[in-house]
Amino acid sequence: MNARLDLFAAHAKHPCQSGRPTSRIPQPLVRPTREQAHEALRTLLAWIGEDPTREGLRETPDRVLRAYGEYFGGYGQDPTELLQKSFEELDGYSGPVVVRDIEVHSHCEHHMVPFTGRAHVAYLPNARVVGLSKLARLVDAFSHRLQIQERLTAQIANAIHDALAPRAVAVVVACEHQCMATRGVKKRGAMTLTTQCLGLWQDDAAARAEILRQLED
């Protein structure tokens, strides 16, 4: 059983640690089979003091695996591909593109419990823009992995910067972490705010203050 649990843990700690997006999604060295993951979940149920054979829990490992397929679907996506299709027909537009209140649903890599909130994304186009829905998909691709909020914020900003070469990028993420709300200090309602600015909005304090006002108001 310990070997199976080790395999399950190895898969859960998928080695996507870089703050910069890569051209491919790194693969674990040893990926357990579904049967091994199923057995690992039965072991965890037994470890917490439950009977995995009782009626209410017999199908729980299958349900958890299906849920994990949704929660961590970002490992099957290459975020850089989402921004490959862009457009040049700006007709002289020179202002920022701002998308606020993109829902964030992610899981803390330290305790594997959810953190949820909103992401606000802005960029100042140089020559190209991307479809607005692609920004929401980008947030999903990075958030549907085991994460820390700081890295999530940086990954979103870096991906936009690398794909579109804009004059500036700003990303603000505000989330409540269940690892803080339901365990440990148990402080519900505490929001964590992280910010990443690149380009002009990193270098120019006045411009940065203005765009952050638009994102945070």
Measure the CA angle with vertex 98, ends 93 and 101; round to 5°.
160
On whether the CB atoms of residues 178 and 106 are closer than 8 A, the answer is no
pLDDT value at 2 more than 60: no
Mean pLDDT value across residues 129-140 = 96
Q: What digits encode the pLDDT tens for the residues 165-193?
A: 999 999 999 999 999 889 898 889 999 99
3-state secondary structure of 91: coil
Indicate the pLDDT class of residue 19, thresholds 50, 70 and 90.
very low
Catalytic residues: 108-111, 149, 177, 179
Please state, rounded to an integer, the average pLDDT across all residues of the chain: 89
198: exposed, middle or buried (Cβ count in 10 Å: 0-12, 13-18, 19+):
buried
Q: What is the pLDDT of residue 155?
A: 98
Measure the CA angle with vertex 99, ends 95 and 104; round to 5°.
155
pLDDT value at 140 more than 80: yes
Q: Which two tokens stand for residue 193?
A: 């705010």
Indicate the pLDDT class of residue 65, thresholds 50, 70 and 90.
very high
Q: What is the pLDDT of residue 25?
A: 59
Q: What is the pLDDT of residue 15?
A: 35
Name the H helices within the chain: 2-12, 34-47, 60-71, 79-82, 132-143, 149-164, 178-181, 200-203, 205-216
pLDDT value at 1 more than 80: no
What is the distance between the alpha carbons of residues 157 and 163, in angstroms, rounded to a whole number? 10
Q: What is the pLDDT of residue 141?
A: 97
Q: Which two tokens stand for residue 61?
A: 């490992």
81-216 sits in which CATH class? alpha beta
Indicate the pLDDT class of residue 30, thresholds 50, 70 and 90.
confident
Q: Which two tokens stand for residue 92?
A: 């002289």
Indicate the pLDDT class of residue 28, thresholds 50, 70 and 90.
low
Q: Which two tokens stand for residue 147?
A: 């994460």
Q: Which two tokens stand for residue 55?
A: 């009626």
46: exposed, middle or buried (Cβ count in 10 Å: 0-12, 13-18, 19+):
middle
DSSP secondary structure letter of residue 113 = -
**DSSP strand pairing (168-177 vs 97-108):** unpaired
Q: What is the pLDDT of residue 24?
A: 59
Sequence-separated (6 or more) residues with CB below 8 Å from residue 196: 153, 154, 156, 157, 158, 169, 170, 171
Domain ranges in the chain are 2-71, 81-216
